[in-house]
Chains A and B, each alone.
Chain A
Amino acid sequence: MQKPKENAGLSDEATTAINPRAAGPFALAGAALLGGGFVLGLLQRDHLAYFLHSYLVSVCFVASLCLGALFFVAVLHATRAGWGIVLRRIAEFLSVNIATVAVLFLPVLVAVIMRNHWLYEWLDAERMREGSKHYSELLAIKRPYFQVFFYVARSVGYFVIWWALARFFFTRSLKQDESGDPNLTLQMERWSGPSLLLFAVSLTFAAFDWLMSLTPEWYSTIFGLYFFAGCVVSGLSSIVLSAVMLQATGRLKSVITPEHYHDMGKLLLGFVIFWGYMGFSQYMLIWYGNIPEETVWYQARQTNGWALISLALLFGHLLIPFFGLLSREVKRRRHLLAFWAVWLLVFHWIDLYWVVMPSLEQKRPQFGLLDVAVALGILSLYLAGLALVAGGKSLVARKDPRLGESLAFENY
């Protein structure tokens, strides 16, 4: 049986906060990279079509990290879990950083407000004007939904919901660091259920709006869950990676043990399979039904060189990490687990690239310097935000009533 031990193991050195000044270099590097990417985008002379698509890929990528982490926090509360308390603060930092992502999302909103239909085809008024040679009846039907104002309002709404939820858990958790009041835990547990409902609905519509509507005539009811699966995989990966990096700097050494990594590895494996389950369900049913309005989306991803990336996802996002994460040893060794976390983050980015880029009217995948600059730029700015959010704060929910249980946690 596990005997909860006192929180004495939490020496100050173990939980030394991150210095918020680390944000500076990241912000500078991010701005420079993004600026470079923007210039490269201008040079393409394609109305920024490529730049905006690439930008959307990376901004959805960082959003998904926050959302996966938010899901982790809410589920820990909803299930009254004890084992993961030592990791929860890291997840809270990641989820609250949705504020940075909201700022990073502004260029997309600006592009929509300026009706840049090279990003979203439905912004092209010609497509909805009867009599025009570009007219599409299927698009005209959706006119009430595809309004610039409505799109912007919805996107702002999603960020407000996510930020409010993340803040709700974060502020109470910080307050508990001072008071140790168990009522805060009860309060968070009580609201975790409704939070997950709001989370599910907002995430689904965000996936529809930001990603599915890139091919506006196409639809798939599972699309929200597909994006959700990717969010959780990348959220869990980010938590693992953050923990490993913090331990590499000497922090949390005796706090996070192989037992916690083991459980994170199990969850990762589970959600890797879940992602495959979602992807397979969507693909198989569309392939089998063979209705042109639906197959068009996969058609674009099976021709002109995209088939290779589709296959890369099948192997890189499912089969290889599945076998990689099966072993108990891999899950318990943080450096091996960190390798798979990085691997999955890379493939999650490729997944989003594969979802977004084929809607560009181009023949082949053109992965290049611009994508790298934009991705690293956004990631740097995200990390800058993370340093500001996490700076000066305890890295562990140090007075959580169940912390002892988490510290003493052992798999069996």
Chain B
Amino acid sequence: MSTLTLPLDDNTTNDPKHRAPLIAGDQSLETLTDVVSGIVEQPVVPRSWYVAFAVSSALAAMFFALIGYLIFTGVGVWGNNSPVFWAWDIVNFVFWVGIGHAGTLISAILLLFRQKWRTSINRFAEAMTIFAVICAGVYPGVHIGRVWFAYWLAPYPNHMTLWPNFRSPLLWDVFAVSTYFTVSLVFWYLGMIPDLATLRDRTQSPLRRALYGLFSVGWRGSARQWHRVERGSLILASLATGLVLSVHSVVSFDFAVSQVPGWHTTIFPPYFVAGAIFSGFAMVVTLMVPARAYFGLKDLITVRHLDNMNKIILATSCMVGYAYGVEVFIAWYSGVHYERFAFLNRAFGPYAPYYWTMVTCNVIVPHLFWFRKWRTTPALMVIVAVLVNVGMWMERFVIIGISLTRGHLPSSWRMYAPTWVDIGMFIGSFGLFMTLFLLFCRFLPMVAMAEVKTVLVHEESHAAQH
């Protein structure tokens, strides 16, 4: 564990004449490497990590056991019914895909916008992206029932001349999510190569040296290698920027192309993207606040970083609130009976508590972030971030579940209730997510050391003194 006792400078103040330092304490190139590598290199792993890992992996095991049960028994073990053919399975899929979006926004869009504060948090958030997309990817895979035919989703020449329906957004989803996963993984890995080489050079263990050596693909830190990594990052950032928008837009098409009231509305693509970034940042804040305290990273991931992320949560909350408002207004304005009913049913129907929880958590609570105190106090911001995650899960249920329970034909109305398998799988997916996350914290550099070094002011200020 690191031995940081330096006081945390308050770098959240805003003086227009000076840019506040992004890294607190008196970190030098050397101490920075020590702090970040030290987490991976500690000879004795604290017991708390093992406890957390045991709990997470047990839940992950439950997740896979339930998937096995589902596959051997059939999707009837879920609460899905007619007409609610999509329920918690798709709610959880959309929820997890959304969680992933913060990582890509931080690593790609903030790179293009020259937001250097992203260097401290991008590795962490990108890792979350990858793990969240893994959790998300499981659901559409298993919800189709006969998973052994899942490969039919891919267009490949076959003797039955089977061909997927290219007009179906469900197929677009396959391409969108798999492209997203691939590009995120490559982007994450590319940025990590210099840091993996650092770990390779520092480690005493031959096994670790071999593995870090393998994955750092012969990195020697030459100018040409740096040039290629930086160019590659920039190109991947441009590609990934489009993906931030396209993935959740395509997810929204799954609903919006239909004629289901409450699903079919043109604002869905940007609204879903804003919601995804909103929930993703909330999850990053939720996990980062404890992680930076536990691993002694407060100098690298400062209150300013948290402050900035909370501002993005506030901004995206306003966008989501805008979309809710416009939807309600247009439902009235359209004059269409079914549209109006869909929104009245959300707010005052049998699932009203879900709706009002959603509104409270997503539109009202985040406005606490107008206050500096809420943005800069870790304990307070976690409360808001957790509530946002609750609210965003509710939003997906409100959209998917409530709209299906009461469609155009009242004789087909039917309520929905989840079964223990639904609930178990949802909890289990958190287990999978946390298992991967804990492994990441244990074996990979949590902060992009090489990138943070470019924003260190230490060396410069010392040079000036001499």
Contact = CB atoms under 8 A, between A and B. Distances in A.
The answer to whether A and B interact is yes
Interface of A: 1, 80, 83, 137-138, 141-142, 145, 182, 185-186, 189, 193, 197, 200-201, 204, 208, 217, 219-225, 266, 273, 277-278, 281-282, 284-286, 288-289, 291, 293, 400-402
A72 B401 CA distance: 40
A222 B259 contact: no
A222 B333 contact: no
Interface in B219-261: 242, 245, 249, 253, 256-259
Given A193-B370, A219-B334, A289-B257, A204 B326 contact: yes
Nearest to B249: A281
Given A221-B327, A277-B269, A285-B256, A1 B264 contact: no
Given A222-B270, A224-B326, A225-B270, A289 B264 contact: yes
A90 to B, nearest CB: 20
9 contacts: A182-B16, A197-B318, A221-B266, A222-B269, A223-B266, A277-B270, A281-B249, A285-B264, A288-B257
Contact of B460 (A1, A193, A204, A266): A1
B310 interface: no
B334 A293 contact: yes
B265 interface: yes
B268 interface: yes
Contacts of B325: 201
Nearest to A182: B16
B296 to A, nearest CB: 28
B159 interface: no
B306 to A, nearest CB: 17
A407 to B, nearest CB: 14
A401 B17 contact: yes
Interface residues of B, number: 36
Contacts of A221: 265-267, 323, 326-327, 330
B116 to A, nearest CB: 11
Contact of A401 (B16, B114, B256): B16
For the residues of B in contact with A, the DSSP-based class is helix
A186 B14 contact: yes
Contacts of A182: 15-17
Contacts of A278: 270
Nearest to B270: A225
B322 A201 contact: yes
B376 to A, nearest CB: 15
A286 B336 contact: no
Contacts of B265: 221, 285
B335 interface: yes
A307 B44 CA distance: 70
A13 to B, nearest CB: 27
Nearest to A82: B19
Nearest to B273: A277
Contact of B16 (A142, A185, A224, A277): A185
Nearest to B242: A273
A204 B321 CA distance: 14
A291 B408 CA distance: 14
A145 B334 CA distance: 12
Nearest to A140: B335
Contacts of A277: 245, 249, 269-270
B335 A138 contact: yes
A199 to B, nearest CB: 11
Interface string B296-333: 00000000000000000011001000110111001001
B257 A285 contact: yes
Interface centre among B112, B266, B460 (most CB of A within 10 A): B266
Contact of A281 (B17, B266, B326, B333): B266
Contacts of B327: 221
Contacts of B16: 80, 182, 185-186, 400-402
Nearest to B112: A266
Contacts of B335: 137-138, 141-142, 217
A288 B256 CA distance: 9
Given A142-B335, A200-B322, A281 B257 contact: no
Contacts of A137: 335
Given A222-B270, A281-B270, A285-B264, A291 B259 contact: yes
A208 B329 CA distance: 11
A212 B310 CA distance: 35
Contacts of A400: 16
A135 B436 CA distance: 63
B177 to A, nearest CB: 19
Interface string B118-150: 000000000000000000000000000000000
B17 A285 contact: no
B269 A281 contact: yes
A273 to B, nearest CB: 8
Contacts of B326: 204, 221, 224
Nearest to B115: A79
A273 B314 CA distance: 25
Contacts of A273: 242
B259 A289 contact: yes
A285 B460 CA distance: 54
A186 B267 CA distance: 34
A298 B267 CA distance: 17
Contacts of A138: 335
A145 to B, nearest CB: 7
Contact of B266 (A80, A142, A145, A282): A282
A143 to B, nearest CB: 10
A282 to B, nearest CB: 5
A219 B333 contact: yes
A141 B333 CA distance: 8
A260 to B, nearest CB: 14
Given A185-B16, A200-B322, A208-B333, 9 more contacts: A1-B460, A138-B335, A197-B318, A204-B322, A219-B333, A221-B267, A285-B256, A288-B257, A291-B264
Contacts of A266: 112
Contacts of A208: 333
B117 to A, nearest CB: 12
A204 B267 CA distance: 12
Contacts of B460: 1
A129 B330 CA distance: 23
A285 B266 CA distance: 6
Give 10 nearest A-B pairs by CB, closest first.
Answer: A221-B267, A401-B16, A141-B335, A222-B266, A288-B257, A185-B16, A281-B269, A138-B335, A222-B267, A182-B16
A189 B311 CA distance: 13
Nearest to A220: B266
A27 B322 CA distance: 39
